[in-house]
């Protein structure tokens, strides 16, 4: 999960958290493409290790579950 760094965003709407498939090992892509289609160039993103920021709803809907059967966001039920 990553989002644009503040200096590259044109407001809070562009600071939503996106989900990205991991690039192949040993490769350095020219940009990362989120499940929603949003592209972020190297150096423009900051990694997010929790779900405190607003998620991209499209990414949440399109991201597949991981190989362990987990889903992109943790279960937030009490």
| pLDDT range class, residue 35, cuts 50, 70, 90 | very high
| Sign of the four-CA dihedral 41, 8, 50, 18 | negative
For residue 55, what pLDDT is reported?
87
For residue 23, what pLDDT is reported?
84
Q: Which of these ranges, 36-45, 55-64, 66-75, has the smallest mean pLDDT?
A: 66-75
For residue 38, what pLDDT is reported?
93
Q: Is 17 exposed, middle or buried (0-12, 13-18, 19+ CB in 10 A)?
A: buried
Q: What is the pTM of this model?
A: 0.72
For residue 69, what pLDDT is reported?
55
For residue 39, what pLDDT is reported?
93
């Amino acid at each position: 999960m990553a989002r644009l760094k503040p200096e590259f965003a044109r407001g809070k709407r562009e600071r939503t958290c996106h989900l990205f498939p991991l690039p192949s090992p040993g490769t350095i892509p020219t940009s990362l493409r989120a499940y929603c289609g949003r592209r972020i160039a190297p150096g423009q993103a900051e990694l997010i290790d929790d779900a405190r920021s607003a998620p991209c709803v499209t990414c949440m809907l399109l991201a597949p579950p991981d190989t362990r059967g987990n889903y992109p966001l943790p279960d937030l039920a009490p």
